[in-house]
Amino acid sequence: MTLHIVLVNPEIPQNTGNIVRTCAALGAVLHLVEPLGFSIADRYLKRAGLDYWHMASVETHPSLEEALGNAPRESIFPASARGTRSHISAAYPDPCWIVFGPESTGLSDHIVDSYAGQVVRIPMREGARSLNLSNAVAVLAYEVFRQWGFDGLSAVRAATTEGEPV
């Protein structure tokens, strides 16, 4: 099963480094759409991803169209605080492409409007503008894998003092 995380014009290297770490832990492919607000060699980016870079699949693309390639339209889910459907209400196919916008502005109206029926949002309290990008990616990515039965991931069960699983 393949999850593709697409970051359109990411601006903050630490967020992208954290997302590299999440993608490495899940085996997801990270697509970075230029222009980037930092260099891939940025020390903050590398530090945030730390020792996970060798486990990550990271690709850069000059445009969103190139990043999405021949992805079937029904497998593309833009994530936006302007979405009207909860991220848990979508059924995520394999492969799945989740698209996120820049930290300062989110996805453009053009992208949100182009995929109106597939835009997902993470529920938040009234007045909350948005989540941190790396947190939003983690929430959505783990929802996809939850729906996929955590296929390909190992689980460690914690035990209580009585020895029962928590």
| Whole-number Å distance between alpha carbons of 8 and 59 | 12
Displacement of CA 67 from its chain's centroid (Å): 14
pLDDT in tens, 24-55: 999 999 999 999 998 887 676 666 656 778 88
Residue ranges with strand state E in 45-128: 57-61, 76-78, 85-86, 96-100, 120-121
List, in order of start, the domains of the chain with CATH numbers: 3-147 (3.40.1280.10)
Q: How far apart are CA 130 and CA 133, in angstroms?
A: 8
Confidence (pLDDT) at 16: 92
Position 166 confidence tier, pLDDT thresholds 50, 70, 90: very low
Q: Is the pLDDT assigned to residue 154 strictly greater than 90? A: no
Q: Report the predicted TM-score, pTM, of the whole model to 2 decimal places.
A: 0.89
Which residues of the chain form beta strands (DSSP E)?
A: 3-8, 29-33, 57-61, 76-78, 85-86, 96-100, 120-121
Q: What percent of the chain has pLDDT over 70?
A: 88
Residues 35 and 139: their CA atoms lie apart, in Å, by 25
State mean pLDDT over 9-38. Answer: 94
pLDDT confidence band for 118 (50 / 70 / 90): very high
Q: What mean pLDDT value characterizes the chain?
A: 90
Which tokens is 82 given? 């302007």
Q: Specify the pLDDT at position 34.
A: 97
pLDDT at 92 over 60: yes
Q: Is 120 helix (H, G, I), strand (E, B) or coil?
A: strand
Tell me whether strands 85-86 and 29-33 are parallel, antiparallel or unpaired. Answer: unpaired
Nearest CA among 99, 76, 13, 80 for reference residue 48:
13
What is the mean predicted confidence (pLDDT) over 155-159? Answer: 58
